[in-house]
Each structure stands twice: as C-alpha cells, then as structure tokens.
Chains A and B, each alone.
Chain A
Amino acid sequence: GAGVSQSPSNKVTEKGKDVELRCDPISGHTALYWYRQSLGQGLEFLIYFQGNSAPDKSGLPSDRFSAERTGGSVSTLTIQRTQQEDSAVYLCASSLNFVEQFFGPGTRLTVL
C-alpha cells in the first residue's frame, strides 16, 4: 500500500477484556515497530521486528502485552486483561533500513 495502515482507528473496551490491534506495514519494509503514546507523555517504544530475527521485546511494559508478525508483513499487538493505564494511542511504524521510519495513523485505545 501507499503507507502504513492500522486498525481499528479507535477501540473502546472494558477493563479486563483482551484487545488486538493490527498494523499493515509498507510493502517490502522488513522492519516493524510498535510505540505507545500516553496523554502528556512522549512516544514509548514497545517492540521491534526485523526480518526473521527474534523480536526486540525490551519495551513491553508487562507480560500482558505481546505481539506477533506473520509472514514478515502484518503485525498484531495483543493486550490481555486490559487496565485503565493501557489507554493510549498505539502507533506502528515500518522501515526498509535503519535510516527512516514511516508511521501509521495509530489506534486510540480507551479502557473504561
């Protein structure tokens, strides 16, 4: 596609429910990143996928968070047993090399 796409654009869920957020990177981009942007905070790195290498999960805040990338393309970020502090905008980015990252529009998650 022309750019990175994410779905849904908005997600409202109840505390304790699981949610899945999807990212479609730019075709051909080998690297994919997830970030979180909380109100009043900067962007926080969550996880990074590069080709077939093991993902860098160093930014995941708890074991309730997990992500996978199927076929080296689409990625899904899963948050289990959501908490109110998980409310944020979740941004996905992709890149062809380490030079520049291209961001999607984000998914706004609200946990009630």
Chain B
Amino acid sequence: KQEVTQIPAALSVPEGENLVLNCSFTDSAIYNLQWFRQDPGKGLTSLLLIQSSQREQTSGRLNASLDKSSGRSTLYIAASQPGDSATYLCAVRPLLRYSTLTFGKGTMLLVSP
C-alpha cells in the first residue's frame, strides 16, 4: 500500500527565506506526483505536476523535483512571502490505478513579515 510522508509537519520562517518541503513515498510505481496548496477553509489549488519521466518542474518562485527511484520529491520556494502561508500537500498517482491520488498529511507553512 502506497504511503506518502511529508516532513516537516509545520514550518515557520521569516519573509525572504528560501525553503524546502519534503515528500517521500513508499512505492516508486507512480504515474505522476502533484503538489497542492490549501488555504484554511478552502479547497486545494494545484501548484506543480511532475510526470514520472520528469525530474523537475518550475513555476515562478516554485520548483519541484522528483527522484522516483528513491521515492522522494521536494518543493523549493524561493524568496518566501507572507502570502505563501498555507498547507502544502504532496500527492502521488499510482501507475496502475489512475483513479486515486494518495496524499501526504501536508506541511503547514507560516511566513512571517
């Protein structure tokens, strides 16, 4: 059974810092990996999606990497801003069961002005 772990569970940084969020998964047979952002009381917003054949994806100040063989992904946020404060979720889609995403429990990020 696929398990997704996110470390740390919570992170507090001052504005302007670069930071890395970690995601690990136990079964490397994945179709893709997706990073989401969730604001309090809101749904999920997709940030980056990495196909299993890709190594990284970039969008603005965000960069996500994928090392499928070791079961790891990182989300790098450059020059963090208070508006980046949210919970960040990592999810993997299995190779053979396209119907379901398996989510980690998330990293709660607080960026202080």
Q: Which residues of B contact A91 (CB under 8 A)?
A: 43-44
Q: Which residues of A contact B101 (CB under 8 A)?
A: 33, 35, 43, 45, 101
Cβ contact within 8 Å between A56 and B99: yes
Smallest CB gap from A49: residue in B? B99
Task: Give per-residue flags for A20-43: 1 if the beta carbon is below 8 A from chain B beta carbons, else 0.
Answer: 000000000001010100001111
- Report the minimum CB–CB distance from A10 to chain B (whole Å): 10
- Report the minimum CB–CB distance from A100 to chain B (whole Å): 5
Q: Which residues of A contact B102 (CB under 8 A)?
A: 45
Q: Which residues of B contact A59 (CB under 8 A)?
A: 100
Which one of A35, A41, A98, A100 lies within 8 Å of B46 (CB-CB)?
A: A100
Is chain B's binding surface mostly helix, strand, loop or mixed?
A: strand
Smallest CB gap from A106: residue in B? B43
Given the interface contacts A98-B93, A101-B101, A103-B43, does A42 sit within 8 Å of B4 by beta carbon? yes
Smallest CB gap from B102: residue in A? A45
Smallest CB gap from B44: residue in A? A103
Cβ contact within 8 Å between A42 and B105: yes
Which one of B42, B89, B98, B99 lies within 8 Å of A43 (CB-CB)?
A: B89
Which one of B49, B103, B105, B106 lies within 8 Å of A99 (CB-CB)?
A: B49
Cβ contact within 8 Å between B49 and A100: yes
Given the interface contacts A48-B100, A50-B99, A59-B100, does A104 sit within 8 Å of B43 by beta carbon? yes
Q: Does A72 make an interface contact (CB < 8 A)? A: no
* Residues on A facing B (Cβ under 8 Å): 4, 6, 31, 33, 35, 40-43, 45, 48, 50, 56, 58-59, 91, 93, 98-106, 108
* Residues on B facing A (Cβ under 8 Å): 4, 31-32, 34, 36, 41-46, 49, 51, 89, 91, 93, 97-106
Q: List 17 A-B contacts (CB under 8 A).
A: A33-B100, A35-B103, A41-B105, A42-B89, A45-B101, A50-B99, A56-B99, A56-B100, A58-B100, A91-B43, A98-B31, A102-B46, A103-B36, A103-B43, A103-B45, A103-B46, A104-B43
